[in-house]
Structure 1
Amino acid sequence: MTLQTPEPPSTRQTPGPTLYAPGPEALHIPPPDLSSVLGAPAAQTGATGLSVPSSGAGTSAAQAGVPGPSVPSSVLAAPTAQVGATGLSVPSTVLAAPAAQVGATGLSVPSFDPSAPPSVPPAEPYLRPGPVLLRPSPLPPLPAAPVLPPGPGTGRPQLWLVATETHEDSAARYASLVLDAEELARAGEFRRPGDRATYLCAHVGLRRLLGAHLGVAPRGVTVERAPCPCCGEPHGRPVLPDGRLHFSLSHCEGMSLIAVATTPVGVDIERIPAPHLVAELAEVLHPAESAELAALAQDLRPAAFARVWTRKEAYLKGTGVGLGADPSSEYVGSGPAPTAPAGWLLADVAVPSGHQAAVAVRR
């Protein structure tokens, strides 16, 4: 399988990832299948090429790309709309602008026709195969309590982003009250202060979120290891004893990503590698993925490799095998839409520039 070198932005016709923004459950707006709007006039925008049908962006059900649900205008007009299981916050000043550029995803909201009728097709699972870009909620630093969005539900993970720069001081201050002895000892083993700070921020954030879901103090959360799927020994993925919730944590320098779901879930966040490293790293990928990278222009390969790797590692973490499995055994693809292994849902996650992230959830 080979990817062609992308055409210049002005001539590309392939729709890019859709910003995933399901509506709050309290409003009882079912997430629709928006395949019916593919033929509508759409604005191709930003680096990701997000399509927003011009006929529906300001109606009572704002439709953004494919797939994804409708968000009522009453939500979009609020000062800050908390949207769906991922906890997406969208300032109204952005959504009200004729063409607002939003972060790394390049979201553009065109002008709209208020008279256009809403369309709410039958409900579908929130996370579906296709070019979908999920946006995590930023976790507020201590002492603020996390505000949990509705869910999570089947195929609808909650995603939280933890920036080390924002959380470093509060995590260091509260770590002894939140983390257990093993986590504190592990933090002390890091030689680089930046790595230690990111570890503390990630694990303090994880315990805060799990504690909020379970209704217990963060330090009262008990985490165990599931049996390894390969050998049966207790060194598989971290789990809660009662199995009510599943979670996954990933961090790289300066950034952490946390997922909470009702089924096994995996996340991964990585810095996009330097160009000279890609050729060597690509050797461990599926042969078709390596061929796809080789067919791209050299300056496009680092981001494409990061897409492949984060998708692959998120899936392997979700299974509990991690990198103990052969990374070349499963194909997840390097293009705009990931290819999910059987029984799993797979999507990219919107993270700050210079990073790539993905989430995998078992169906």
Structure 2
Amino acid sequence: MSLLDHPVPPGPPGTAALLPHPLPPLPAPLPRPVRPLAVLPQLWLVTTAVHEATAARHAPLVLEPAELARAAELRRPADRATYLCAHVGLRRLLGSHLGVAPRNVPLARAPCPCCGEPHGRPVLPDGRLHFSLSHCEGLSLIALAPAPVGVDVEPVPHPDTVSEAADVLHPAESAELAALAPDLRPDAFTRVWTRKEAYLKGLGVGLGDDPAGTRVGAGPAPAAPVGWLLADVAVPAGHHAAVAVRL
């Protein structure tokens, strides 16, 4: 069953039957204490290669003019295909949960946490459902939750990129990376970066905030900020992903 060809039935966390890669949202055992399971996010991984053709066909019927214009601005066909898969998939999922046609999902912009102007993250006006979207070439990660949520998915970068970017991390995270063998640093950097960006997106500030200001950890287990549940998400080799949801 295709994400784009059929209605999207809502399901419990990690059991979206219409996607090729439904994801368990959190590892087991969960950190304690946590709120009831209703706060946990639902996660979907969308593979561009699987949905590219149907996303392109359905995009004019599902996306708003501004979204179509943004897709047209992307020069690389692979970037354009992933953007369309991500945004068509998001609208299909939101429309299913809200009981409306995907194109009629009432997306708005939250106030910017930095300046208060209405150009913050996309939100649903009534606040009943929160969502987050991240994509890189070939993959998109979508989260829905009853509380503020953020996700991020990234490819593992070249070691030279890690050396150049490590100084934007929290000092403790930079020290964790420095203690590793050089061949292990790209994976560890991507792990900490996706955790950090997922958390900052959940806050609504994104990279408008200082990435070095909060420690989320570069080790095997995330260091969740107070009041948040932070977890790594299993994605294809060569990538890392994370989800953060406010408790």
TM-score, length of structure 2 as denominator length? 0.88
Deviation at residue 218 of structure 1 after TM alignment: 0.4
Whether the 8 Å contact between 1:311 and 1:360 is mirrored in structure 2 is: yes
Structure 1 runs of 4+ off > 4 angstroms? none
Q: Secondary structure at the match of 2:211?
A: coil
For structure 1, list consecutive stretches of 5 or more residues without a partner in the other structure: 1-138
Matches within 5 A, 1:1-363: 140-150=2-12, 154-363=38-247
Summarize deviations over 1:89-119 as a string: whole Å, max 9, x none.
xxxxxxxxxxxxxxxxxxxxxxxxxxxxxxx
Determine the structure 2 residue equivalent to 1:21. Answer: none
Whether the 8 Å contact between 2:140 and 2:153 is mirrored in structure 1 is: yes
Amino acid at match of 1:149: G
Determine the structure 2 residue equivalent to 1:37. Answer: none
Deviation at residue 151 of structure 1 after TM alignment: 6.3
- Total equivalences in the alignment: 225
Greater fraction of residues in helix: 2
CA RMSD of aligned residues (A): 1.4
Whether the 8 Å contact between 1:140 and 1:146 is mirrored in structure 2 is: no
Q: Secondary structure at the match of 2:39?
A: coil
Summarize deviations over 1:288-321 as a string: whole Å, max 9, x none.
1001001001111001000100000000001110
Amino acid at match of 2:11: P
TM-score, length of structure 1 as denominator length? 0.60
| In structure 2, distance between residues paired with 1:241 and 1:279 | 41
Whether the 8 Å contact between 2:4 and 2:88 is mirrored in structure 1 is: no
Deviation at residue 154 of structure 1 after TM alignment: 3.6
Q: Secondary structure at the match of 2:140?
A: strand
Q: Secondary structure at the match of 2:214?
A: coil
| In structure 1, distance between residues paired with 2:192 and 2:13 | 28
Summarize deviations over 1:210-269 as a string: whole Å, max 9, x none.
000001110010111111122211122211011110000000011000000000000000
Summarize deviations over 1:158-206 as a string: whole Å, max 9, x none.
0001100001000000100000111011111000011000000000000
Summarize deviations over 1:126-181 as a string: whole Å, max 9, x none.
xxxxxxxxxxxxx9332133342136954310000110000100000010000011
Greater relative contact order: 1 or 2 (C-alpha under 8 angstroms, separation 6 or more)? 2
Whether the 8 Å contact between 1:157 and 1:260 is mirrored in structure 2 is: yes
Whether the 8 Å contact between 1:141 and 1:166 is mirrored in structure 2 is: no
Q: Secondary structure at the match of 1:328?
A: helix
Q: Secondary structure at the match of 1:303?
A: helix
| In structure 2, distance between residues paired with 1:144 and 1:272 | 33
| In structure 1, distance between residues paired with 2:118 and 2:222 | 31
Q: Secondary structure at the match of 2:128?
A: coil
Determine the structure 2 residue equivalent to 1:22. Answer: none
| Pair 1:154–1:237, CA change in 2 (3 A) | farther
Determine the structure 2 residue equivalent to 1:81. Answer: none
Amino acid at match of 1:233: E
| In structure 1, distance between residues paired with 2:39 and 2:126 | 20
Determine the structure 1 residue equivalent to 2:27. Answer: none
Whether the 8 Å contact between 2:151 and 2:242 is mirrored in structure 1 is: yes
| In structure 2, distance between residues paired with 1:303 and 1:266 | 20
Whether the 8 Å contact between 1:154 and 1:263 is mirrored in structure 2 is: no
